[in-house]
Amino acid sequence: MFKGSFVALITPFRRDGKIDEKAFQSFVDWQIREGTDALVPVGTTGESPTLSHAEHKRVVELCIEAAKGRRPVIAGAGSNSTDEAIELTKHAKKAGADAVLSVTPYYNKPTQDGMYAHFKAIAECADIPVIIYNIPPRSVVDMTVQTMARLAKIKNIVGVKDSTADLARPTRTKLACGDKFSMLSGEDGTALAFLASGGHGCISVTGNVAPKLCAEMHKAWAKGDIKTAQRINETLMPLHEALFCETSPAPVKYAANLLGLCEDAVRLPMVAASENARQRVREAMSGVGLLNEGARQRKAG
């Protein structure tokens, strides 16, 4: 079962618009050293919509290479085209990923039967665990618990990244899909409440810049240290909010830039965080103590 603190990795770009491979692999190594439990490249936070297929595959390969088996790699492999999703899933398997994250088809708005057929075809194309990514705000469609329960009967469909913000959903999903079905939150602000409702972990945006704190919160929860988990959650909440004050990943890329991890460049139609957003991010990171920590890390490096 997949559980703990996962990070939806940003994809660093150079100022010329190309992927910064060196910065990305250094970032992966830093994530592991900070305690992140699993790595999730080329999801929404990794700007997968504006990566070419060749770039997408390259980022997956770079992540697996840098991880060196130290942490599981769950490769983003979704598409609103079933054929494209199958292609990316087969590549992830061949490259050595431990699982794939596959989003509900966006824009073309399939029915529940259409989503079932889509994910069944993906699961059958390669012998690799599949985690369904249910994110109605971006995909428009919402996979029902009943459809997910049908899919959970397929051997290698093993879990869900739930970005519905419905805190009744994990309990309903557990009852429908069973105890072995991994339930991962896709929303930092409600991650702890998601755990309390039966969830197993979180695929985090905030973890890009506060991996140690995110990991410590999950470890505290797993140990039954509820007070520590609550304290960390309260500490991180202003940062969660700041990182989504504008469309992600522009704010979190700016936050990573403040830590000296990469440039804050994004690809059109995304634009860099506004000055107002930058101020909110700086204030939140200062409040958590991350800017001072980042300065120490850069000096030590």
Catalytic site positions: 133, 161
Strand duo 38-40 + 4-8: pairing: parallel
Amino acid at 3: K
Q: Which residues neighbour 110 within 8 Å (Cβ) at sequence distance 6 or greater?
A: 118, 141
* The CA-based dihedral angle spanning residues 214, 216, 217, 222, taken in that order and rounded to the nearest 10 degrees: 130
Residue by residue, DSSP assigns 215-256 as: HHHHHHHHHT-HHHHHHHHHHHHHHHHHTTSSSTTHHHHHHH
Q: Which residues neighbour 178 within 8 Å (Cβ) at sequence distance 6 or greater?
A: 152
The b-or-e profile of 226-249 (16+ CB within 10 A means b, else e) is eeebeebbeebbebbebbbbbebb
